[in-house]
């Protein structure tokens, strides 16, 4: 059997530790997230304390090295965690994903001083992290970012930043911002990465965006106005920022796909239960073949998504040469397919699916943005095609 197919075929055979991770996460989410998710959504309430409490479970540094307090788990382990959390609330799960992506960049590309300064407090969730790449005029074209960082101070001991980041999850709540800034020429070679504390002089935040979904999670602009950041907070070196950003996104794409998968599974479970209870024309609606076929397709789509996602995560764990392509394929397929599953679950509920109290319309709203962030699904197709034609 081809190695890629073999990896795919074996992914449902999770080991005992991985099943324990699933069970632990699902139990936490069922007790601490699911009962409150609809209220958080309705009130646009950010459950800061609940998110930070997951540090006790190791979720502040899921795939961060253990010497700085991380859990030292793999990417497949992380996917299992985000999937289980998202079954309770995709927005909650995605915020923990974003924090982990930011922490991983420091762990992977930071020097020892940076790792020891930032990561112990991030892995414990004493400090929450956000990732700041997108700008008002630079989304899919990430290399076109304009936020400028200029050396200043004695011997260039500081950077002074001017510009703004757009659509930053956790902005205003997070304590640390891993930001891509321009330190040199136009294009990817002029991009660098700075770790910026919330109390940096000249750092401020816009008003919370009024979004379609992810209501429990604040999204704001991050604004730099002569913002001073120590040069010692530069990750790797000047000009390495685009490489760091793209490396982080491979894992981030798997994480957000896992959030879609968990949300879709929850929507499907609700639809299946509802179809067994709801009666029309003298029998429960799950007795109608048209609906049976719809449920069969939904179940197939969920499991196809799970198999592709687990295989892609396994490739990233093994550092396979085509892991980037598989991450893009998983992100594109899973987020598209799982949104469709959630939308079909709403249809199964009929008019009740449109009501907030049933929880389906929230899942549809929450999953929609997953097709846009961590690289739009159109960009995922570009990445996949480039791998195929060798560009």
- For residues 156, 158, 161, 165, the Cα torsion angle rounded to the nearest 10 degrees is 130
Confidence of residue 142 (pLDDT cuts 50, 70, 90): confident
Instruction: Give the pLDDT score at 156.
Output: 82
**pLDDT over 60 (residue 70):** yes
CA–centroid distance for 186 within its chain: 28
Lowest average pLDDT, out of 40-44, 155-159, 262-266, 337-341, goes to 155-159
Fold of 243-389: Butyryl-CoA Dehydrogenase, subunit A; domain 3 (1.20.140)
Strand segments, DSSP code E, in 243-284 are 279-280, 283-284
Residue count of the chain, please give it.
391
Q: Which residues contact 32 (CB under 8 A, 6 or more apart)?
A: 50, 53
**pLDDT over 80 (residue 130):** yes
Instruction: Give the pLDDT score at 1.
Output: 32
Q: Give residue-wise pLDDT tens across range 152-200.
A: 977 889 999 999 999 999 999 999 999 999 999 888 899 999 999 999 9
Confidence of residue 10 (pLDDT cuts 50, 70, 90): very low
Instruction: Give the pLDDT score at 137.
Output: 87
- How many helices (H) does the chain have, and how many strands (E)? 12, 10
Q: Give residue-wise pLDDT tens across range 285-313.
A: 999 999 999 999 999 999 999 999 999 99
Kind of pairing between the strands at 219-230 and 191-197: unpaired
Q: Locate tokens 């962030």: which residue?
A: 373
Angle ∠(347,374,113) on CA atoms, nearest 5:
140
Confidence of residue 255 (pLDDT cuts 50, 70, 90): very high
Q: Helix, strand or coil for residue 228? A: strand
Kind of pairing between the strands at 191-197 and 176-182: antiparallel
Confidence of residue 140 (pLDDT cuts 50, 70, 90): confident
Per the CB < 8 A criterion, the answer to whether 214 and 267 are in contact is no
Instruction: Give the pLDDT score at 6.
Output: 43
Instruction: Give the pLDDT score at 3.
Output: 42
Instruction: Give the pLDDT score at 187.
Output: 87
Tell me whether residue 39 is exposed, middle or buried, using C-beta atoms within 10 angstroms of its C-beta: 0 to 12, 13 to 18, 19 or more. exposed
Angle ∠(249,254,257) on CA atoms, nearest 5:
120
CATH node for 3-128 = 1.10.540.10
pTM: 0.94
Mean pLDDT of 45-52: 97
Buried residues in 40-78 as b, exposed as e (16+ CB within 10 A): bbeeeebbeebbbebbeebbbbbbbbeebbbbebbbbbb
What Cα–Cα distance (Å) separates residue 247 from each residue in 18, 106, 108, 168?
25, 12, 10, 19
Instruction: Give the pLDDT score at 141.
Output: 84
Q: Give residue-wise pLDDT tens across range 143-153.
A: 889 999 999 97
**pLDDT over 90 (residue 318):** yes
Mean pLDDT of 313-324: 95
Instruction: Give the pLDDT score at 2.
Output: 40
| Percent above pLDDT 90 for the chain | 90
Strand segments, DSSP code E, in 22-94 are none
Residue 278: how many other CB atoms lie within 10 Å: 15
Query: Known catalytic residues?
Result: 374
Instruction: Give the pLDDT score at 147.
Output: 96
* Structure tokens belonging to residue 377: 């699904």
Instruction: Give the pLDDT score at 163.
Output: 97
Instruction: Give the pLDDT score at 12.
Output: 59
Q: Which CATH architecture has domain 130-238?
A: Beta Barrel (2.40)
**pLDDT over 60 (residue 4):** no
**pLDDT over 80 (residue 53):** yes
Parse the chain into domains and list their residue ranges.
Answer: 3-128, 130-238, 243-389
**pLDDT over 50 (residue 390):** yes
Mean pLDDT of 268-292: 97
Instruction: Give the pLDDT score at 9.
Output: 40
Instruction: Give the pLDDT score at 391.
Output: 61
């Amino acid at each position: 059997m081809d190695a890629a197919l073999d990896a795919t075929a074996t992914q449902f055979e999770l080991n005992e530790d991985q099943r324990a991770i699933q069970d632990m996460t699902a139990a936490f989410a069922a007790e601490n997230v699911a009962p409150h998710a609809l209220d958080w959504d309705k009130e646009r309430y950010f459950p800061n304390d609940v998110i930070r409490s997951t540090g006790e479970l190791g979720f502040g540094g899921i795939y961060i090295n253990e010497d700085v307090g991380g859990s030292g788990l793999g990417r497949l382990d992380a996917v299992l965690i985000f999937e289980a959390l998202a079954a309770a609330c995709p927005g909650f799960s995605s915020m923990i994903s974003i924090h982990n992506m930011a922490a991983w960049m420091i762990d992977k590309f930071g020097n020892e001083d940076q790792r020891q300064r930032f990561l112990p407090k991030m892995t414990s969730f004493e400090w929450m992290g956000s990732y700041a790449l997108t700008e008002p005029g630079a989304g899919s074209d990430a290399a076109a970012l304009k936020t400028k960082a200029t050396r200043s101070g004695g011997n260039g001991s500081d950077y002074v930043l001017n510009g703004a980041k757009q659509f930053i999850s956790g902005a205003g709540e997070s304590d640390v911002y891993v930001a891509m800034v321009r330190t040199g020429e136009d294009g990817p070679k002029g991009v660098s990465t700075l770790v910026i504390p919330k109390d940096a002089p000249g750092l401020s935040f816009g008003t919370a965006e009024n979004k379609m979904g992810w209501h429990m999670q604040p999204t704001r602009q991050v604004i730099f106005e002569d913002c001073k950041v120590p040069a010692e907070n530069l990750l790797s070196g000047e000009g390495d920022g685009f490489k760091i950003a793209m490396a982080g996104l491979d894992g981030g794409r798997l994480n957000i796909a896992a959030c879609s998968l968990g949300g879709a599974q929850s929507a499907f479970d609700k639809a299946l239960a509802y179809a067994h209870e709801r009666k029309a024309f003298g029998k429960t609606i799950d007795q109608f073949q048209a609906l049976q076929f719809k449920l069969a397709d939904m179940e197939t789509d969920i499991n196809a998504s799970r198999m592709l996602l687990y295989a892609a995560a396994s490739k990233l764990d093994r550092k396979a040469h085509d892991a980037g392509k598989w991450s893009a394929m998983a992100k594109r397929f899973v987020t598209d397919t799982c949104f469709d599953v959630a939308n079909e679950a709403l249809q199964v509920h009929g008019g009740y699916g449109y009501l907030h109290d049933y929880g389906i319309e929230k899942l549809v709203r929450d999953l929609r943005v997953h097709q846009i962030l961590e690289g739009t699904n159109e960009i995922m197709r570009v990445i996949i095609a480039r791998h195929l034609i060798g560009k």
